[in-house]
Every structure is written in C-alpha cells, then in structure tokens.
C-alpha cells in the first residue's frame, strides 16, 4: 500500500506541473505578464537595484518559455516515473528504488525551477521581495510548491525494507 501512496504523490506532482503548463499556455498573457511584473520591478518604489529592471520582450519571452517548458518536463518525468514505479510495485525493494529515479528527477527539476526561477532570479536579482503586491501570491506560492514537492521527494525516495 505504501508504494501506491508514493505513486499517487508522484502523480500529484505530475498533475501540478501539467495543469500549470496548460494554464501558462491558455493564459499566455498572464504568464508573460507575471514575468514582466517581476523583471520590470514596477510593483514597488525605485531602489538602487532598479537599474537591473528590464521590460525587454526577449527576456520576458525566454522566462515564460522556460517556466512552461520546465513544467512540461517535470510532468513528463513524473508520469514516466510513476509508470515505472507501477511496473515495479510487486518487485523487491531494489527494483522499486531503481524505478523511482525518473520520478525523483522530476521532483528535483521542479524544485530547481521554483528555486532558481522565483527565489534566485525574481526574488534576489529583481528584488521581488520588495513588492507588496507580488510577495505572497508569487513568492509564497513558489515556496509552498517547492516545499511540498521536496517533502514528497523525500517521502518517495525513502528506502524500504
């Protein structure tokens, strides 16, 4: 039963990623708007770091494409990982542990995307932490998603007897 729970958790990460990617594509204006709000630094008063601000359409497009592409990759890795876990569910612990590698890679890619994209780039470089408008909805969500995905990865990656 524990193996089934682990697969369901990985499938939930896949669902988060693929539903998010679909939303990014369907609401492309919202996706590029979120990236533009972060890179333009327009949601808070001018500070010394404001020289880093950019409204360059290429930067915004690359950011939006990277977010969407990473989510699709996470979804695919987690789906394939869950499929392998399903195939190995009746095997021994070593077989099941090997089957988890793609799923755990998907979780790792998700944590990288959230941390590098929103914490390192948006919060640190573009000082999004200064924005009362975006602090909780954007950075709070990124931290919440990353935290849940990290806990899921730790739980799924735990060794079995």
pTM over 0.85: yes
On whether the CB atoms of residues 106 and 77 are closer than 8 A, the answer is: yes
Q: How many domains does the chain have?
A: 1
Closest CA to 13 of 158, 159, 153, 157: 153
pLDDT for position 135: 81
Averaged over successive runs of 10 residues, the pLDDT of the chain (161 residues) comes to 96 98 98 94 84 94 97 98 96 93 98 95 90 85 94 95 76
On whether the CB atoms of residues 72 and 21 are closer than 8 A, the answer is: yes
Residue 139 sits in which domain range? 2-157
Three-state SS for 84? helix
Tokens linked to 127: 């000082």
């Amino acid at each position: 039963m524990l193996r089934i729970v682990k697969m369901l958790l990985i499938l939930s990460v896949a669902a988060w990623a693929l539903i998010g990617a679909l939303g990014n594509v369907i609401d492309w204006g919202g996706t590029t708007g979120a990236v533009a709000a972060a890179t333009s630094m327009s949601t808070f008063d001018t500070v010394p770091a404001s020289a880093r601000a950019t409204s360059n359409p290429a930067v915004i497009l690359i950011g939006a494409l990277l977010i969407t592409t990473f989510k699709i990759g996470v979804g695919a890795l987690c789906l394939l990982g869950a499929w392998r876990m399903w195939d190995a569910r009746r095997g021994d612990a070593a077989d099941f542990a090997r089957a988890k590698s793609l799923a755990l890679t998907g979780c790792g890619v998700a944590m990288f995307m959230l941390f590098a994209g929103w914490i390192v780039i948006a919060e640190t470089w573009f000082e999004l932490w200064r924005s009362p408008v975006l602090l909780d909805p954007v950075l709070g969500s990124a931290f919440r998603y990353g935290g849940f995905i990290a806990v899921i990865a730790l739980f799924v990656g735990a060794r079995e007897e």
